[in-house]
Amino acid sequence: VRGDRLAAVVILLGGLAYIREALSYRGAAVGDVVGPMLYPLLLGILVVILAVFLFIGARPEKSEGTFQNVHFRPLLLAAAVLAYVLLMEPVGFVPTTFVFLVVATVWLGERSWPKSIGLAAGLTVVLWYVFNRIFELNLPMGFLRRLG
C-alpha cells in the first residue's frame, strides 16, 4: 500500500511537471486552432486525475521482502547494463561485451570463473561474427581499431 501511495505521489508530481512544461509551448502557425500546447496539457491532466485515483484505490498488499532481497540484484544488473552500453562506444564492442557477459553470468549465479570466462569469450566471438560480418552492423571497434 505504501508502494502504490508513494508511486501515486511521484506520478502526480511528474504529471504536474509535464503540465508546467506543456504550458510553455506556444505555436504561431496560422490556422492551427489548437496549437502544440493543448494535447500534452490534456495528457498531463489525465495523469493527475489517475494519480489521485491510484492514491485513493491503493489497497494493502503482502510485503514482498526487504529491498535488498527483492530489488538489489535486478538493479545492480541494470547498472551493469548501463555501464556496458556507455562504455561500448569508447572502449569497443568486443571487450565490453566480454566483460559484461562474465560479470552477468557470475552475478546470475555461476560459481566457476573458468566456465564463465570461456562462455563469455565464445559468445562474444559468435555475436561479433554474426552481427558484424553477416549483418554488417559496424559495431564499435574501440581500441581494437588500431590492431585491425
Which residue ranges make up the site for other proteins (CB under 8 A)?
Answer: 3-4, 7, 11, 18, 21-22, 25-29, 31-36, 39-40, 43, 46-47, 50-51, 53-54, 57, 69-70, 73-75, 77-78, 81-82, 84-86, 88-89, 97, 100-101, 104-105, 107-110, 119-120, 123, 127, 131, 135, 137, 139-140
Q: Closer to other proteins by CB, 16 or 104: give it.
A: 104
Q: Closer to other proteins by CB, 16 or 40: give it.
A: 40
Minimum CB separation of residue 86 from other proteins in Å reads: 6
Burial class (CB in 10 A: 0-12, 13-18, 19+), 37: middle
What is the grid cell recorded at 17?
A: 511537471
Q: Closer to other proteins by CB, 25 or 113: give it.
A: 25
Q: Closer to other proteins by CB, 28 or 147: give it.
A: 28
Calculate the dihedral angle through the C-alpha atoms of 141, 145, 147, 148, rounding to the nearest 10 degrees: 80
Minimum CB separation of residue 106 from other proteins in Å reads: 9
Alpha-carbon gap, residue 87 to 92, rounded angstroms:
7
Q: In the block, which residue shows the cell 489548437?
A: 34
What is the grid cell recorded at 131?
A: 552481427
Query: At 74, which amino acid appears?
Result: P
